[in-house]
Amino acid sequence: MANCLVAQSGGPTSVINATVAGVVKANQMNPYYDHVYGGLNGIEGILNERFVDLTEMSDDENRILRQTPSSALGSCRYKLKRDNVADFEKLFAIMEKYDIETMFYTGGNDSMDTVAALSQYAKEHGITNRRFVGCPKTVDNDLMHTDHCPGFASAAKFIATTALHTWLDVNVYTRQEVFVLETMGRDAGWLAASACLSGVVDLVVLPEEAFDKEVFLNEVRRCVEEKNKCYIVVSEGVKYADGTYIAAGEAKNDGFGHAVLGGAGNAIKNMILENGVAERCKVQDLSTAQRCFASGQSKVDVEESFELGMSAHMRSCDKNFTGKMVGLKRKDQPQYDVDFFAIDADQVANFVKSFPSEWILPNYRGISKEALAYLEPLIVGSPVVIYKNGIPAYVKPYYMR
Amino acid sequence: MANCLVAQSGGPTSVINATVAGVVKANQMNPYYDHVYGGLNGIEGILNERFVDLTEMSDDENRILRQTPSSALGSCRYKLKRDNVADFEKLFAIMEKYDIETMFYTGGNDSMDTVAALSQYAKEHGITNRRFVGCPKTVDNDLMHTDHCPGFASAAKFIATTALHTWLDVNVYTRQEVFVLETMGRDAGWLAASACLSGVVDLVVLPEEAFDKEVFLNEVRRCVEEKNKCYIVVSEGVKYADGTYIAAGEAKNDGFGHAVLGGAGNAIKNMILENGVAERCKVQDLSTAQRCFASGQSKVDVEESFELGMSAHMRSCDKNFTGKMVGLKRKDQPQYDVDFFAIDADQVANFVKSFPSEWILPNYRGISKEALAYLEPLIVGSPVVIYKNGIPAYVKPYYMR
């Protein structure tokens, strides 16, 4: 017998903890591992032996953990570089010290690269008793091969609901109004596109297409002329044909080589006002809340994230199961359902799945029926939220204890 | 027999339609009025005879109306000026034409001024068959005499939940983090203060106190030194001792003589960075969403708003009931409950109820136990939300039909 370790990396989502809850629950159903350790702050904390023991988590805590957004184990932006031999040696030594047979790592494509690199290192060094399993999470929904990523659907549901409710708000006066909702989405437009689920979006600007200012402003003009209002959704990562972000003034770098964006909404507002397309324009940047506001989780999303953690645990009982990511495959049938499957993590690492260009309607006029048919089943259902004095109950982050 | 008219004014809230639903439902229970008309876009639409007939609203529609945020009848910023005799004469002529005995007007203190002015005009002109009844609503919670305003509690619940969830998000990395949550609140700090219900706010900056930059920055510094993190909430309306807004660069005017604010969060961020108090600072401006995001309504709030509409209808059957606002009085008992009561609208009009200074802890360190005891019961309970394809069902605005 041996132990396992579960850790989280990258940006939080509102259901990322459900995967951890799933790993823990699966081990309670089949105690394959003596201990389920939680590694704090991803690889960064693991390298410093910062562990908590989650093995005996109560059912109550497990339930509340699933409605607690953000990474309860903490996260990191630390990237295990393939040429940093010292880190690899240290990590394997720590795994030996704590008798950790399997490490589950939830994250985006950087994390899948970590899973691929570690299993490759083990293979190259003839280490057969250490396994590495990736679990996808990212609000951006930009991982390859999996039908979608846990975390995306709840963010999509929040964005679509906020679009509907702010649209209801912005229409109440008879005066002219242009409203711009800015969503996350560095390279992929999934989040911005999901606002169209509200059925009220006039124009949506995605990063998959080079931004054409003239065409866009003409569309805003048409909309304002037709109904004195225009509801616009824009992804933070929208670029001109020459590759510069429309929010270029604000671009920075996050240390991973990714640009830190923000301000696409204001860029849109400024060009509308400066070109006299409308007299007024309001911007709402959904910012951090869109990835962590968990009162409106999608039930499908929470359950899939939980079950994905269970599936990862179950599969890891096979001693050859390493360097894999567990993903979701949509069943080819009218009623929505998924199968879990596994794929080599290096097929996921460092790729980006864009919003399909054939799903984008011309002239920023929204997304196709096929796109809506893909998105709709993901946001269905709302879990029963457990409240404490009017505030959603939550599990105190393990890294704070 | 005669008819009544219900209309909405000012900024939307997430439960303002529940009051309309209450008026309609009360008239179905006791058909005192032949017709319940909805006036579109407040006084502005009424003066143009833009009415819908709500008398026969189905139970289904009534239920969904209560979960539909923003003003389903539309709103206006048009203020009935007391010296504009033409408007008054026109309004009374329209009431006569449609045989409208009672006009219910939901709104903030400008709307209560309208109610007071119209009933005073009727009195001065010996008009005894037209009555005017105000129903409070405002996310700002700044109306006098009523214990609180419908709309506030749901906004407070959204703000407190968002504070909790973004706090969980911002803590996941080991690096230093300062987070600033900006809320609405032009003159009153109720909304910003309600973030403290989350139990995670380090510093809260309210407009009731002159902003002392030095004291504030010292508090941020202390917080960052102690735990490498600082979670700050700031109200848009915070001013320096000399009366200038800390967000002064962005101040405009909304035509009502009120400053349109925004940018207090960024002002805080800039002073933190410029003074080297922290290396990083993130801002989330809750903007429009905080007053209209309705998936997390407070059950107490929706029910009170609905019952307040019913109470207004019932009281209006008394032919002497005019120039009044119906309000909420908290019962003096441990278990939270309210009585409905009526007060002259001119005692409410054009006053502002500030957040009590004795409830503000020194050095921005939050709010007192008394304040929390006042706020807590208001956000309790969550109505069952009716969804359609994963999006909250809503009543299509009447002004769009």
Å from B85 to nearest chain A CA? 23
Interface test with A, best of B288, B336, B395, B400 (most A CBs within 10 A): B288
Indicate if A53 belongs to the active site.
no
d(CA A162, CA A142): 22
Give me the residues paired with residue A343 across strands.
Answer: A325
Could you tell me if residue A93 is left (phi over 0), alpha (psi between -120 and 50 degrees) or otherwise beta?
A: alpha
Q: How do the pLDDT tens digits run along chain A, 401 residues long?
A: 799 999 999 999 999 999 999 999 999 999 999 999 999 999 999 999 999 999 999 999 999 999 999 999 999 988 888 899 999 999 999 999 999 999 999 999 999 999 999 999 999 999 999 999 999 999 999 999 999 999 999 999 999 999 999 999 999 999 999 999 999 998 999 999 999 999 999 999 999 999 999 999 999 999 999 999 999 999 999 999 999 999 886 444 444 555 445 589 999 999 999 999 999 999 999 999 999 999 999 999 999 999 999 999 999 999 999 999 999 999 999 999 999 999 999 999 989 999 999 999 999 999 999 999 999 999 999 999 999 999 999 999 999 99
Whole-Å CA distances, A92 to A8, A120, A132: 18, 13, 11
Mind listing the pLDDT tens digit for each residue in A45-74? 999 999 999 999 999 999 999 999 999 999
Q: What is the DSSP string of B85-104?
A: HHHHHHHHHHHHHTTEEEEE
Mind listing the pLDDT tens digit for each residue in A297-311? 999 999 999 999 999
Chain B: residue whose CA lies nearest to A289: B166
d(CA A330, CA A340): 9
Q: What's the gap between Cα B312 and its chain centre? A: 18
pTM above the 0.90 mark? yes
CB contact under 8 A, B165 and A69: yes
d(CA A190, CA A206): 8
Beta strands in B220-323 (DSSP E): 229-235, 252-253, 259-260, 282-285
CB contact under 8 A, B172 and A288: no
Using CB atoms, pick whichever of A174, A385, A391 lies closest to residue B198. Answer: A391
ipTM computed for the complex: 0.95
CB contact under 8 A, B70 and A400: no
- Tell how strand B282-285 and strand B177-183 pair up: parallel
CB contact under 8 A, A294 and B199: no
Å from B240 to nearest chain A CA? 26
- What DSSP state is assigned to residue A196? G
Using CB atoms, pick whichever of A71, A289, A385 lies closest to residue B382. Answer: A385
Chain B: residue whose CA lies nearest to A168: B70
Q: Does residue B17 belong to the interface with chain A, where contact is any CB pair within 8 Å? A: no
Query: Per the structure block, which two tokens stand in for B291?
Result: 């007053």
Q: Does residue A396 belong to the interface with chain B, where contact is any CB pair within 8 Å? A: no
Mind listing the pLDDT tens digit for each residue in B318-371? 999 999 999 999 999 999 999 999 999 999 998 999 999 999 999 999 999 999
Q: Which of residues 343-382 of B touch A (CB under 8 A)?
A: 376, 378-382
What's the confidence (pLDDT) of residue A252?
Answer: 46
Q: Which amino acid is at B229?
A: K
Using CB atoms, pick whichever of A166, A378, A390 lies closest to residue B380. Answer: A390
Estimate the crossing angle of helix A16-29 against helix A299-316, to 10 degrees. 50
Catalytic annotation, residues of B: 140
Q: Which of residues 265-324 of B touch A (CB under 8 A)?
A: 282-289, 291-296, 298
d(CA A28, CA A21): 11
Using CB atoms, pick whichever of A165, A199, A293 lies closest to residue B162. Answer: A293
